[in-house]
Structure 1
């Protein structure tokens, strides 16, 4: 039988429930790599006698590698299929987590975390591409919102569990837990998730066609609007992920376990946003949903900045605005991730990769910035959250608003 004859005429029938569970687990590898580690960062800094820029690089290097590697994994998934790229990526992610747990110094730790970011890219880019394989954008956004509700549960548990593990066994134990969790996810995916690509593109990795495809994607107004929205809102979330442990633990004196509980309030709000997202998409479409969500995002960012500038010494003055921002993020992300790949059914891998690169590069820049400015003063942290909130709102109220409604419904 020829290779062409073996290509299925239509994607496999995958239930919304199975697709949502698989997407939640794949996207959940990112909070496993970041949220579980958040309570351990101050412990890591003390144990390895590492300066703040080096500690932030354990997060920022992972994110930069995550962004760049998507540009490779995405086209490769278009050429050879989703499943082999996915399984290889999750296996590498597991190995890198174990290697990081055994690192003797911060430089080695950064190297392993960089490799973990490369592997994470395979999981996330394939997850978004599989969503486009199986569903049209509007239906895909609803499935993504359901998946992100599951991701919200992972996000709630991650900092709490990470705080408990870090308090019990130190920062190395948190990385061992990440490795064990990803190994379990790998087993589930190998047993349950089928190949979803309908037609492989033999030229997807050829330099000429690849650059042409990226150029076509990057110029598309729908891609630009949704990719910038997800990058800006994730920039604010990344600021919270990478910076809040030093604010809450060092300034307000929370222990690792208490910090995990504090961060869970934002995760609960994020989960609520994903639930509301599914309802709003049905009644208002994707564009109007994110424009509404931007009000919560803006209130969260400005509230955080206001508390810092006013010198308010109350933990709740930061937790409540954080919850508002996370609620808005729970609406922006499913719409943005589905919307960015929507116009490209034949090149979902390349579009997903480019959107992921924009998001990750934004987060990397913020991570480097935080490494320079974080300290006893809470204002740089708060103003960075506010900046990302304003940027998200402007994109939602301008670029996304200008898209034709037929794209969203």
Structure 2
């Protein structure tokens, strides 16, 4: 296998590949969100079933990483990434051709299972090649690329839904998957220098799990990532219904709202790199925690005052999404930093916890908005504040005590 290190692989190419892999998540969500009301009507589904098309994706995404992670530690990153991307492309074609809501939910779940390989693999590749501090900077660049992809996803999804229909939007997801698969086959090197031949043995697997799940650095950093994503997922779940159904925005205008959120996320990744250089990992997360809480409070206040304006909703959440762009590079690299010999497994657990939490959040949101006394706007405002408060509390307490690894830790296995 062709091996890579920071000197033998072009940094630009590496960031491009990582951005494409991480970009699967906004492509699989943002591209189809503007068409969600239309496809729900077309397939005769309910609002709860529409919610399930997103939560099934995220549940599969989260749980599958526990399988993909050890597989990548055993067989390498390249094989797992290519296998996952091939399956993702096939599942995306199935989703575009689905004839019922039940079928669409099933295909979306399979998409999520396959997508787990991409995010897990991208984080593991960074840990293979870089030490934690530099890895956070590389991650911020890759997540900036993710934000750029998300910039086009919302408006393009809105245009496709308005002019070609919801199947075209889901077909765009399949096309993106095929392009990423071709790029992996063409240029992705193997970055794992020493595969763990015992990684799939029950004793080694359970031992690695135990060491990871007992480590305080893993928990405080993984929870920052998971809590911050919880607020983003609340927005993704409810934004279509708030901006289009409640506030009356067209599909194209909603796409522009999503574009603005993506631009602010990209800005957050740039701010992240500046803060890391000046303040270090823990203080950067603490500053971002304050931004998260301010955004959450602003959105809850707009909800409480019943401000029926797209600006009143978008501006405070824009602050939250900018903080999200700071949290994710720091937390995703920080959570796997202590485990260089099991980066795939550690990455898998971090991703799994975030997605399982998001699935529970989605089920709760679906139940809440099925009742007349909870509007989507109410659920959005108070839901984002809930996650913002958890982010800030963790950022200001646990991360400050356990959030940075200064010396190499015990070798796994």
- Same fold at TM > 0.5: yes
CA deviations on 1:69-90 (whole Å, 9 max, x unpaired) are 0000000000011101100101
- The number of residues matched between the two structures is 404
Indicate whether 1:164 and 2:163 are aligned: no
Q: 1:143-222 counterparts in 2 under 5 A?
A: 143-222=138-217
Residue 178 (structure 1) shift: 0.6
| Kept in 2: contact 1:227–1:355 (CA 8 A) | yes
CA distance in 1 between partners of 2:146 and 2:338 (Å): 25
Q: 1:343-358 counterparts in 2 under 5 A?
A: 343-358=338-353
Q: 1:5-404 counterparts in 2 under 5 A?
A: 13-374=8-369, 376=375, 378-403=377-402
SS in 1 for 2:288: helix
CA deviations on 1:246-278 (whole Å, 9 max, x unpaired) are 000011111111101012111111110000111
Q: 1:161 to 1:407 in 2, by over 3 A?
A: farther
Unaligned runs of 5+ in 1: 1-5
Bigger shift: residues 206-215 or 219-228 = 206-215
Residue 295 (structure 1) shift: 1.4
CA distance in 1 between partners of 2:143 and 2:403 (Å): 26
Bigger shift: residues 70-79 or 289-298 = 289-298
| Kept in 1: contact 2:282–2:403 (CA 8 A) | no
Following TM superposition, where does structure 1 have runs of at least 4 consecutive aligned residues deviating by more than 3 angstroms?
6-12, 404-409
CA distance in 2 between partners of 1:302 and 1:362 (Å): 22
CA distance in 2 between partners of 1:123 and 1:105 (Å): 27
Q: CA RMSD in A?
A: 1.7
SS in 2 for 1:20: helix
* TM-score calculated relative to the size of structure 2: 0.95
Q: 1:15 to 1:105 in 2, by over 3 A?
A: same
CA deviations on 1:350-382 (whole Å, 9 max, x unpaired) are 000000000101111111112112264521221
Bigger shift: residues 375-384 or 351-360 = 375-384
Q: 1:77 to 1:233 in 2, by over 3 A?
A: same
| Kept in 1: contact 2:217–2:405 (CA 8 A) | no
Bigger shift: residues 113-122 or 42-51 = 42-51
| Kept in 1: contact 2:238–2:376 (CA 8 A) | no
| Kept in 2: contact 1:138–1:408 (CA 8 A) | no
Unaligned runs of 5+ in 2: 409-413
| Kept in 2: contact 1:12–1:194 (CA 8 A) | no
CA deviations on 1:122-162 (whole Å, 9 max, x unpaired) are 11111111110000010000000011111111111111111
| Kept in 2: contact 1:167–1:257 (CA 8 A) | yes
| Kept in 1: contact 2:220–2:403 (CA 8 A) | no
Q: 1:294 to 1:11 in 2, by over 3 A?
A: closer
CA distance in 1 between partners of 2:38 and 2:389 (Å): 33
CA deviations on 1:168-212 (whole Å, 9 max, x unpaired) are 112111110110111111111211110000101111111221111
Q: 1:406 to 1:125 in 2, by over 3 A?
A: closer
CA distance in 2 between partners of 1:76 and 1:253 (Å): 47
CA distance in 2 between partners of 1:404 and 1:65 (Å): 28
